[in-house]
Amino acid sequence: MILRSITRHVREQNWFAVALDCLIVILGVFIGLQVNTWNAERQVRAGEQRYLERLRVEVAVSIEQNEWRVAFMDRQDKYSTLALDRLSSCVVPPEDRDIVANAFFHVGKTLPPVLLRGVINELNATGNFQTIRNSALREAITKAVETIERSDLIFNAVLMRGTPHVVYVESQLEYLKSGPRSGALDIAWRDIAFDLDTLCADQRFRRALSAARAYTNDMQSYVIGALEQQRALLRIIDAELAK
């Protein structure tokens, strides 16, 4: 229709009308392109929103897991400290027996920080990482991943250094309870057997227990650092989702 109008106006040599027709065509093309751009931007923003919502879930779960790990290793530190004190006096009061048993049972149970990376891996694998427009958020995600990767290397080193001490401690113990059980759950004094007088006189045993405690505390510090970083990351994600 617009072509017929332009052709008629050219034949009539109505140049003003020709110019007006051309302007209408140009505006129509411009508006069409702009609408397509707006639609594409809306789709990108919607995709970013979905990624952020999923990422928030994974970061929140990671925070919960790391909080549990910090608490577990903190408990183990307290158990080991009390056990070392009782070995020094060679007296274990009835109210402390379960704690001492668990200090031995949990010796060397060191846990690295965790970060669920399903969404992050998907963003990188699909080339959609730049979909997240906030550069500060992208940087926070990158640093969080780097922290976990670095902590994994440190964790392996800590395990290698701590294993001989854990092996020696456990070589002096006899576990009396059979069957499957979670390594994170506590045991009772009756579930483990050892000669208290022998352990009290065994300086190597006390040093091994102390070293294992130190390695656990070292790893706990990395979990605390990763936890603080992930909490900051979650705040940035929440701020983005609130926009």
Say how far apart CA 52 and CA 44 lie, in whole Å: 12
Query: What CA–CA distance (Å, rounded) separates 119 from 49?
Result: 12
Report pLDDT for 58: 97
Q: How far is CA 130 from CA 124, 223, 234, in A?
A: 9, 28, 18
pLDDT score for 44: 59
Per-residue pLDDT of the chain (243 residues; tens, 9 = 90+): 555 654 655 455 555 555 655 666 676 666 655 655 555 566 657 678 999 999 999 999 999 999 999 999 999 999 999 999 999 999 999 999 999 999 999 999 999 999 999 999 999 999 999 889 999 999 999 999 999 999 999 999 999 999 999 999 999 999 998 877 777 889 999 999 999 999 999 999 999 999 999 999 999 999 999 999 999 999 999 999 998
Q: Residues 104, 169: contact at Cβ < 8 Å? A: yes
Contact between 219 and 153 (Cβ < 8 Å): no
Report the pLDDT value the prediction gives residue 10, as an integer from 0 to 100. 47
- Measured CA to CA, the distance from residue 238 to residue 50 in angstroms comes to 13
Residue type at position 82: L
pLDDT of residue 36: 57
Q: Is there a contact between 55 and 237 (Cβ–Cβ < 8 Å)?
A: yes
Neighbours of 127 (CB within 10 A): 8
DSSP 97-142: HHHHHHHHHTTT---------HHHHHHHHTT-GGGS--HHHHHHHH
Q: For residues 229 and 147, is the Cβ–Cβ distance under 8 A?
A: yes
Q: For residue 243, what pLDDT is reported? A: 83
The tally of CA atoms less than 13 A away on the side-chain side of residue 93 is 4
The DSSP string of the chain is: -HHHHHHHHHHTT-HHHHHHHHHHHHHHHHHHHHHHHHHHHHHHHHHHHHHHHHHHHHHHHHHHHHHHHHHHHHHHHHHHHHHHHHHHHT---GGGHHHHHHHHHTTT---------HHHHHHHHTT-GGGS--HHHHHHHHHHHHHHHHHHHHHHHHHHHHHHHHHHHHHT-EE---S---TTS---GGGEE--HHHHHH-HHHHHHHHHHHHHHHHHHHHHHHHHHHHHHHHHHHHHHHT-
pLDDT of amino acid 37: 55
Give the integer Cα–Cα distance in Å for 185 and 101. Answer: 12
